[in-house]
Amino acid sequence: MSKVIACIDGSQVAKDVCDAAAWASLKMKAPLDLLHVLDKDEYPKIDQHSDLSGNIGLGSREHLLQELTELDARRSKLALEHGKHMLEDARKRVETDGVVTVSTHQRHGSLLETLQEAELDMRLLVMGRQGEAHDNQAHSLGSHLENVVRAMQKPILVAVPGFKAPTRFMFAYDGSKTAQKALDKLVQSPLLKGLECHLVMVAEEDDKHVGDLKLAEDKLKAAGYQVNTALEQGDVQPLLSNYQQQHGIDLLVMGAYGHSRIRQFLVGSNTAKMVRLSDVSMLLLR
């Protein structure tokens, strides 16, 4: 049984994550699992009045253990309770959206580890672009997203605020290995069937690129998509952004992070830029 797994937290984008997950779950006819991860490192730091007396007396170690355990217990209980409410809200929302098989899940640990454990059972991962910590900053990348995308082998649907069921998607294609893999996945997946496809490549207009594009177009057509193709020249991110606005695209599909972190550090990454600046939700294929 492979599921659509949606990561829920207390951020504003959580409701969009729910909607996106519900949409995907219905399209793929896959059960939906709502996941909330309790990460101790992410708990708000309580400024405990620390004891700087620097002395240790009878049974200091035992007392300290007791004290720290109680502190953790209180924080964890609160977070646990809070998480349950969030999951309950999320469940109501997706049920209103029409999903029937919904399960909810709470796990302790770091988000990345938890998702890696759940990967075997996962068909699609849905998460928000940014979590609670970045709620007030539009167009900033959450602290987990890139790590998660790089570590996972499954497709990831990144929801941005204001998600609505998409009708037209744009597939950013550059002929690279990552993009070809993404194309194969796209052809097999039922998720985007019936949507209008815009196949866009940003590259020099030469024989190789035209050939690559034609090949991709044929593949998509064979899979039953209605395809519009464009080959454009210029800077990748602004160009794709423009195209998206002109054609009313409401979902962006691309292969993600084809290059190493070192290369990203040196020359930057189109994926990172696109994910950060996009106004619509994204489907990242690995």
Interacting residues toward another protein by CB under 8 A: 40-41, 45, 48-62, 64-65, 68-69, 72, 143, 147
Cβ 286 vs Cβ 271: under 8 Å: no
**Closest separation in Å from C-beta 21 to another protein:** 26
Backbone angles phi, psi at 5, to 5 degrees: -110, 125
Nearer Cβ to another protein, position 72 or 235? Answer: 72
Nearer Cβ to another protein, position 117 or 218? Answer: 117
**Closest separation in Å from C-beta 141 to another protein:** 13
CA distance 164 to 22: 11
CA distance 96 to 141: 29
Nearer Cβ to another protein, position 72 or 184? Answer: 72
Q: With 0-12 CB in 10 A as exposed, 13-18 as middle and 19+ as buried, what is 119?
A: middle
The dihedral sign for the CA sequence 93, 99, 101, 106: negative
**Closest separation in Å from C-beta 67 to another protein:** 9
- Strand-pairing partners, residue 226, are 196
**Closest separation in Å from C-beta 108 to another protein:** 11
**Closest separation in Å from C-beta 76 to another protein:** 10
3-state helix, strand, coil in the chain (%, to 5): 45, 20, 35
Assign 3-class secondary structure to 187-202.
HHCCCCCCCEEEEEEE
Nearer Cβ to another protein, position 64 or 100? Answer: 64
**Closest separation in Å from C-beta 64 to another protein:** 5
Nearer Cβ to another protein, position 53 or 246? Answer: 53
Nearer Cβ to another protein, position 60 or 226? Answer: 60
Nearer Cβ to another protein, position 68 or 78? Answer: 68
Tokens standing for residue 240: 């794709």
**Closest separation in Å from C-beta 56 to another protein:** 3
The dihedral sign for the CA sequence 187, 191, 193, 198: negative
Residues 6+ apart with CB under 8 A from 172: 179, 200, 201, 202, 236, 240, 252, 253, 254, 274
Report the run of H or E that residue 232 belongs to, with start and end: strand 226-232
